Amino acid sequence: MTNFSSANSAHLAAKFRPPSVDQVRVGGFFGPRIETIATTTAHTLLDRCIAAGMLDQVDPDRPNPGLRIPFQNGNDTVSTQMFWDSDFGKSIEAAAYGLLHKPDAALEARIDEIVDAYGRLQDENGYLNSWYQRIEPGKRWTNLRDCHELYNAGHLMEGAVAYYHATGKRRFLDIMARYADHIASIFGPGDGQKRGYCGHPEIELALVKLGRATGERRYLDLARFFVDERGQRPNGQHYYDREARERGRDPSDYHFATYEYSQSHIPVRDQRHVVGHAVRAAYLYSGMADVSTEFGDGSLKPALETIWGHLTDKNLYVTGGFGPSAHNEGLTFDYDLPNETAYAETCAAVALVFWASRMLGLGPDRAYADVMERALYNGALVGLSLDGTQFFYDNPLESRGKHHRWTWHRCPCCPPNIARLVASIGTYLYGEAQDEIAVHLYCDSVAELKTAGVAVRIRQETAYPVEGSVRLTLEPEHAAEFTLSLRLPGWSPQVTIRVNGEVLDPAGVEEKGYAKLTRLWQAGDHIELEFAMPVQRLYANAKVGVDQGRVALQRGPLVYCLEGVDNGEDLNALVLQPQSGFRCEVVDGIGGLPALVTTGWREKSESDHLYTLSAPQRVPTEIRAVPYHVWDNRDDGEMLVWIRAEADQ
């Protein structure tokens, strides 16, 4: 049994931390989505994991861990996979957050059954991995580069922490703490220890969560080791090269050819460019930011800040997705942002939310929070259907009508990933520090926070993102002086701030895109924010050739797209006029969000000839755009984010 001690001095270096998910109750825009996850998606995830054979692989009391079943259209099969533990871990995590929102005895019993199976599977020394215990025994810790061993452990740890927060049950947490202790005995700088790290970063984030939940410094220390060791070449040899030789393989026999794929090409503090597999990249940078925050390690900041700029200035889709290539599920070269073939994996946008949130651990900064919001509302949320049962893996910005959500996927990482993000959204809304509370995202919610030694309840009342009005009411347990930092979204050209009815000049209180309000706060104090939400046209850098002569539409945090169900076929024949005004309109089937409606042109050719000497005719037409994240929830059809637009005269 792990000893759960109080937090220690390592935690004192932390500046801003997100509240645990049980500290925030969420309604408003995300409330119905969390309800759907709690009542539908959580069961759906477990149903499909178990149907695929994951519990058969885990439970030593069950035979046939090599089960195969049909999926999707019955033309393919799912077979046992080395990363299944991670899918179970994320599914448990999503379900745990659902339980916080809405108790469900049947769902809890299902999780307990899975936890019990992992308990029976665990070795006496703490080791726990269904693939290496039941499918390939004897090969543990022999191929960290390719085989997700530590990655799986990380997702199980995160699921255990979430289930502990949701139910107070420690069995899964104890199981994973024992496994973490075993890992710490295997990996480290000591004599006889392995100086390795996972080819798929993730365990770094999980160990920080485990350390925060248990108060045990050793888990934070292990996270720091994995971050510090990555890309090092002790004795002039890369760990993955030595590992390959030890298993009798040529290190050059590597499908991806370069260790940039796993961000292990050079030590992390020397890295300056976002490279390789997009999800692995953002998970690593999240872990780096966590370590920087927990240990007050400023040596990681130059790398983090420069990599962030490289991503957001040259490689980020307008939807907050990134990683254009299906080949490596990741990065290629700067300004390579194709639309129809965009990969932009749902998990990558989810991971970007994680990374941005952790960058905010270093202090409120709109540069990170605005990107977090963009990725959340667009590139990530698109991965989950409104009914909570279907999922996108890759997310193009243009479709000819053949791209649709999956019922399941042969690599089902995205379904539980987007579900756990949405169901835990409360933890991303706020940040707590010694004498400051930050509000990063706006959503109807009630948060129980603590700063300046006092418990503070904050109530947000808002219809955001449909409207830009937000009212926050503070209820400290007694009067206390502290700073309340409120994000001023970069997309809003005009902001009004009132504190107890008194209008403040935003410029007089703004710092790094946040209104910093320091005062003696008393129960009943309230702040009213009004963010102007015009429809904005976004233009791509001229180096992004595919988007020239086109615009993307944005209102508030939402990026919009055209769908064939609203606009007919040939969406590329539609052209926006320079001064077209937009109106908001209610449309069924898009989650209660406004559609944007304007008048433009539709181009029509005079003949069916492929080429002619005559320009197409333009016919006035109504153009209707809907939020990108809700596309493909209604009838099949085309989709387009970057819309042709006549240039201003």
Catalytic residues: 329, 413
| Residue 47, H or E segment | helix 42-52
- SS3 of residue 213 by DSSP: helix
Instruction: Name the DSSP letter for residue 38.
Output: I
For residues 232 and 577, what is the distance between their CA atoms, to the nearest angstrom? 55
In the block, tokens 């790290």 appear at 197
Do the strands 558-563 and 550-555 form a parallel or antiparallel pair, or are they unpaired? antiparallel
Which two tokens mark 346? 């749902």
Q: Of 253, 247, 279, nearest to 393 (Cα)? A: 279
Residue with tokens 């420069």: 306
The pair of structure tokens assigned to 39 is: 């009542």
Helix H or strand E segment including 245: helix 239-246
Angular region, 351: left φ>0, alpha ψ -120 to 50, beta rest: alpha
Which amino acid is located at 38 in the chain? A
> Integer distance in angstroms from the first to the last C-alpha of the chain?
72
Query: What Rg do the C-alpha atoms of the chain give, in angstroms?
Result: 25
Q: For the chain, what's the residue count?
A: 649
Could you give the C-alpha distances from 399 to 317, 326, 394, 581, in angstroms and in order? Answer: 16, 16, 12, 26
Q: What is the DSSP string of 118-150?
A: HHHH--TTS---HIIIIISTT-TTS-TTTS-HH
Distance CA 309, CA 422 (A): 26
Report the alpha-carbon distance of residue 485 to residue 16 in Å, rounded: 12
